[in-house]
Amino acid sequence: MEEQKDIRWIQRYANYHKACGRLVEVTEADRFLEDLSELEVEGLVQRFEYTFELAWKVLQDILIYKGYEFMLGPNGTLKMAFDDGLIGDHDAWRKMSKARNTLSHVYDEEEVLPIVRLIYSNYAPLLKKLDEDLNVLSQNEDYKQA
Protein backbone atom coordinates (compact mmCIF):
# COMPACT_ATOMS: atom_id res chain seq x y z
CA MET A 1 0.00 0.00 0.00
CA GLU A 2 1.34 3.42 -0.97
CA GLU A 3 2.03 5.82 1.90
CA GLN A 4 0.17 9.12 1.60
CA LYS A 5 2.35 12.23 1.58
CA ASP A 6 1.72 14.95 4.11
CA ILE A 7 -0.11 17.93 2.69
CA ARG A 8 1.76 21.15 3.47
CA TRP A 9 -1.33 23.30 3.90
CA ILE A 10 -2.79 20.91 6.47
CA GLN A 11 0.46 20.96 8.44
CA ARG A 12 0.57 24.75 8.39
CA TYR A 13 -3.15 24.92 9.18
CA ALA A 14 -2.51 22.99 12.42
CA ASN A 15 -0.10 25.74 13.48
CA TYR A 16 -2.51 28.45 12.35
CA HIS A 17 -5.35 26.82 14.32
CA LYS A 18 -3.27 26.93 17.53
CA ALA A 19 -2.15 30.51 16.93
CA CYS A 20 -5.66 31.69 16.16
CA GLY A 21 -6.96 30.02 19.30
CA ARG A 22 -4.38 31.90 21.36
CA LEU A 23 -5.35 35.22 19.80
CA VAL A 24 -9.08 34.66 20.22
CA GLU A 25 -8.46 33.55 23.80
CA VAL A 26 -7.56 37.18 24.55
CA THR A 27 -10.03 39.00 22.32
CA GLU A 28 -13.03 36.95 23.44
CA ALA A 29 -12.16 36.96 27.13
CA ASP A 30 -14.17 39.06 29.56
CA ARG A 31 -11.32 41.58 29.64
CA PHE A 32 -11.31 44.64 27.46
CA LEU A 33 -8.34 46.42 25.96
CA GLU A 34 -8.46 49.00 28.73
CA ASP A 35 -7.98 46.19 31.28
CA LEU A 36 -4.76 44.91 29.71
CA SER A 37 -1.32 45.84 30.98
CA GLU A 38 1.26 47.23 28.59
CA LEU A 39 2.95 43.82 28.50
CA GLU A 40 -0.36 42.09 27.69
CA VAL A 41 -1.03 44.55 24.85
CA GLU A 42 2.42 43.80 23.46
CA GLY A 43 1.67 40.08 23.71
CA LEU A 44 -1.64 40.56 21.90
CA VAL A 45 0.12 42.47 19.13
CA GLN A 46 2.69 39.68 18.81
CA ARG A 47 -0.04 37.03 18.68
CA PHE A 48 -1.84 39.00 15.99
CA GLU A 49 1.32 39.39 13.92
CA TYR A 50 2.21 35.70 13.85
CA THR A 51 -1.41 34.61 13.42
CA PHE A 52 -1.79 36.89 10.39
CA GLU A 53 1.49 35.59 8.95
CA LEU A 54 0.31 32.00 9.30
CA ALA A 55 -3.10 32.93 7.82
CA TRP A 56 -1.80 34.25 4.53
CA LYS A 57 0.82 31.50 4.29
CA VAL A 58 -1.73 28.72 4.77
CA LEU A 59 -3.91 30.40 2.13
CA GLN A 60 -0.92 30.47 -0.20
CA ASP A 61 -0.27 26.77 0.49
CA ILE A 62 -3.90 25.91 -0.34
CA LEU A 63 -3.76 27.89 -3.57
CA ILE A 64 -0.54 26.15 -4.59
CA TYR A 65 -2.14 22.81 -3.68
CA LYS A 66 -5.07 23.72 -5.93
CA GLY A 67 -2.64 24.28 -8.80
CA TYR A 68 -2.38 28.04 -8.96
CA GLU A 69 0.90 29.52 -10.07
CA PHE A 70 1.21 33.04 -8.84
CA MET A 71 2.87 35.74 -6.82
CA LEU A 72 4.75 35.71 -3.61
CA GLY A 73 3.71 37.63 -0.54
CA PRO A 74 0.49 38.41 1.29
CA ASN A 75 -1.13 40.93 -1.07
CA GLY A 76 -1.23 38.70 -4.13
CA THR A 77 -2.15 35.70 -2.01
CA LEU A 78 -5.08 37.52 -0.40
CA LYS A 79 -6.38 38.70 -3.77
CA MET A 80 -6.13 35.19 -5.21
CA ALA A 81 -7.76 33.71 -2.07
CA PHE A 82 -10.64 36.16 -2.49
CA ASP A 83 -10.97 35.37 -6.20
CA ASP A 84 -10.99 31.65 -5.34
CA GLY A 85 -13.60 32.10 -2.59
CA LEU A 86 -11.36 31.16 0.33
CA ILE A 87 -11.94 34.53 1.98
CA GLY A 88 -14.97 36.75 1.65
CA ASP A 89 -13.95 40.33 2.36
CA HIS A 90 -10.81 41.23 0.43
CA ASP A 91 -10.90 44.86 1.57
CA ALA A 92 -10.95 43.89 5.25
CA TRP A 93 -8.09 41.44 4.73
CA ARG A 94 -6.11 44.09 2.85
CA LYS A 95 -6.61 46.49 5.76
CA MET A 96 -5.54 43.78 8.18
CA SER A 97 -2.36 43.23 6.15
CA LYS A 98 -1.62 46.94 6.24
CA ALA A 99 -2.23 47.02 10.01
CA ARG A 100 0.14 44.10 10.51
CA ASN A 101 2.85 45.92 8.55
CA THR A 102 2.25 49.13 10.49
CA LEU A 103 2.56 47.33 13.82
CA SER A 104 5.96 45.95 12.90
CA HIS A 105 7.30 49.48 12.34
CA VAL A 106 5.48 51.57 14.95
CA TYR A 107 6.45 51.92 18.58
CA ASP A 108 4.25 54.83 19.60
CA GLU A 109 1.36 53.74 21.83
CA GLU A 110 -0.94 56.37 20.28
CA GLU A 111 -0.52 54.69 16.88
CA VAL A 112 -0.68 51.12 18.20
CA LEU A 113 -3.85 51.33 20.31
CA PRO A 114 -6.26 52.10 17.44
CA ILE A 115 -4.95 49.04 15.61
CA VAL A 116 -5.27 46.93 18.75
CA ARG A 117 -8.92 48.03 18.96
CA LEU A 118 -9.34 46.81 15.38
CA ILE A 119 -7.77 43.48 16.34
CA TYR A 120 -10.55 43.09 18.90
CA SER A 121 -13.41 44.31 16.73
CA ASN A 122 -12.49 43.29 13.17
CA TYR A 123 -9.33 41.27 12.71
CA ALA A 124 -9.65 38.53 15.33
CA PRO A 125 -13.19 37.70 14.09
CA LEU A 126 -11.90 37.49 10.49
CA LEU A 127 -9.05 35.22 11.54
CA LYS A 128 -11.44 33.07 13.58
CA LYS A 129 -13.81 32.74 10.59
CA LEU A 130 -10.90 31.64 8.42
CA ASP A 131 -9.97 29.07 11.07
CA GLU A 132 -13.51 27.70 11.07
CA ASP A 133 -13.64 27.60 7.26
CA LEU A 134 -10.24 25.89 7.02
CA ASN A 135 -11.30 23.35 9.63
CA VAL A 136 -14.22 22.36 7.40
CA LEU A 137 -11.96 22.31 4.34
CA SER A 138 -9.40 20.13 6.15
CA GLN A 139 -12.12 17.50 6.63
CA ASN A 140 -12.84 17.39 2.89
CA GLU A 141 -11.16 14.35 1.36
CA ASP A 142 -10.47 16.26 -1.90
CA TYR A 143 -8.15 18.57 0.03
CA LYS A 144 -6.27 15.81 1.84
CA GLN A 145 -5.02 13.92 -1.19
CA ALA A 146 -1.37 14.15 -2.13
Give the pLDDT band of residue 1 (cuts 50, 70, 90). very low
| CATH architecture designation of domain 8-140 | Up-down Bundle (1.20)
pLDDT (average), residues 15-37:
90
Give the pLDDT band of residue 56 (cuts 50, 70, 90). very high
Pick from 2-11, 32-41, 102-111: least confident: 2-11
Mean pLDDT of the chain: 89
pTM of the predicted structure, to 2 decimals: 0.89
How far, in Å, CA of 138 to CA of 111, rounded? 37
| pLDDT at site 69 | 82
- Give Cα separations from 55 to 11, 35, 39, 40, 81 (angstroms): 13, 27, 24, 22, 11
Helix 74-84 with 38-65: angle, nearest 10 deg:
60
Pick from 28-37, 94-103, 112-121: least confident: 28-37
pLDDT (average), residues 114-138:
95
pLDDT in tens, 91-105: 999 999 999 999 988
